[in-house]
Chain A
Amino acid sequence: MDALQLRRQLIEYTAELFSEGFLDEQFTQLQQLQDENNPDFVVEVVSLFFQDSERLLNELAKSLSQQEIDFKKMDAHVHQLKGSSSSVGAHRVQRSCISFRDFCNAKNVEGCLECLQKMKHEYSLVKDKLETFFDLEQQLSTTGGSPPPP
């Protein structure tokens, strides 16, 4: 595929990520902060989000598997996950954190368990989507094409 086709594909793919709600305006903010002094800024921050999320989702699962559930600890963890997901514009993950927090505040264990599955699913989806996005960017860069403006 030539640079022009790749560029078009990247533009269309990005538009899809926004229209399907995987990403929001915050992702554009990240892209706008990337420059020649910080050429890998977006990949760096998103990679940190992946690390934060995997750790926090594991912590939430661990908390929910305990005999005595520590709702205060879970509240703190979902707070952190919402912060991290909002920083990269992972909109659907962010929204699932809000739902989880509501169940947590109500001490609704079943609700938390169900919501955690949804959070894991949303995280897995956005991770795949972002990895594909970065892959397309990399391919475009390799062919010498210029990235579309954010």
Chain B
Amino acid sequence: MAVVKGNSQGSQANGAGGNGNGRSTWPSRGKGYSVPGSGVTFPPLRNRLKALVVDDMSACYRYERAILQSFGVETDVAETGEEAVEIFANGAYYDLVLIEKYLTIYAMTGVEATRRIRGMGFQGKMLAVTAFTSQSDRFEFFDAGIDAYLIKPITHEMIWPYLLQIDNQIA
């Protein structure tokens, strides 16, 4: 059984339903985010987005979840590739997946998990979020079906364009 660390309110991985694919079609409860002391403000998202962070480093996923939650994105966590794949196999829906390359050592990598999730028909945005970059790592991930490759740590400015793109694609 996949163990999913959800929002503090204990949200489940399976979507609330609404348009048949498990995603919520509620009006936006997204909040805008103002970066303290910088004058930079990101407007609220129109839709209630849902994200999955796949990383087994607790400091990393705790931080990434906080960044997404600050935009009002409901965010779950899976610590292994196997958990992430099982979540999707159980019919969960996400608008966005952030996935690290190295998960539990010698178990399923983020690359393999990406390939399997895409193989199940998931067409949402998948971003590799990883600590090092190399040509071969990038090639492997893009070949598996990732949409973009980001280097840790992610920032509001880095993730915002992807959230905006997803938000704008939803009617």
Residues on A lying within 8 angstroms of B by beta carbon are 26, 29-30, 32-33, 38, 41, 44-46, 48-49, 51-52, 73, 76-77, 79-80, 82-84, 86-89, 97, 101, 149-150
Interface centre among A51, A86, A149 (most CB of B within 10 A): A86
CB pairs A–B below 8 angstroms (28 shown): A29-B155, A32-B36, A32-B37, A38-B66, A45-B63, A45-B66, A48-B58, A73-B106, A76-B102, A79-B101, A80-B56, A80-B57, A80-B102, A80-B131, A82-B131, A82-B152, A83-B131, A83-B152, A86-B131, A86-B153, A87-B64, A87-B153, A88-B59, A89-B153, A149-B36, A149-B37, A150-B36, A150-B37
Q: Are A84 and B59 closer than 8 Å at their CB atoms?
A: yes
Q: How far is the CA of A97 from the CA of B132 in the complex (A)?
A: 10
Within 8 A of A (CB), among B36-87: 36-37, 55-60, 62-64, 66-67, 70
Chain A at the B interface: SS class: helix
Q: Are B57 and A52 closer than 8 Å at their CB atoms?
A: yes
Shortest beta-carbon distance, B160 to chain A, in Å? 14
Q: Are B58 and A52 closer than 8 Å at their CB atoms?
A: yes
Shortest beta-carbon distance, A15 to chain B, in Å? 16
Q: Are A41 and B57 closer than 8 Å at their CB atoms?
A: no
Report chain A residues within 8 Å CB of B66: 33, 38, 41, 45
Q: How far is the CA of A32 from the CA of B106 in the complex (A)?
A: 36
Residue B130 at the A interface, CB < 8 A? Answer: yes
Q: How large is the interface on B (under 10, 10 to 19, 20 to 34, 35 or more residues)?
A: 20 to 34
Shortest beta-carbon distance, B107 to chain A, in Å? 11
Q: Are A82 and B132 closer than 8 Å at their CB atoms?
A: yes
Report chain A residues within 8 Å CB of B95: none
Report chain B residues within 8 Å CB of A45: 59, 62-63, 66
Residue B170 at the A interface, CB < 8 A? Answer: no
Q: Are A84 and B57 closer than 8 Å at their CB atoms?
A: yes
Q: A79-B102, A80-B56, A88-B59 are in contact. List 13 more A-B contacts (CB 8 A).
A: A33-B67, A41-B66, A51-B58, A52-B57, A79-B101, A79-B130, A79-B131, A84-B60, A86-B153, A88-B63, A101-B132, A149-B36, A149-B37
Q: How far is the CA of A148 from the CA of B153 in the complex (A)?
A: 24
Residue B1 at the A interface, CB < 8 A? Answer: no
Shortest beta-carbon distance, B110 to chain A, in Å? 11
Q: Are A52 and B70 closer than 8 Å at their CB atoms?
A: no
Report chain A residues within 8 Å CB of B106: 73
Report chain A residues within 8 Å CB of B62: 44-45, 48
Q: Which of B35, B37, B70, B130 contacts A83 (CB 8 A)?
A: B130
Q: Are B35 and A76 closer than 8 Å at their CB atoms?
A: no
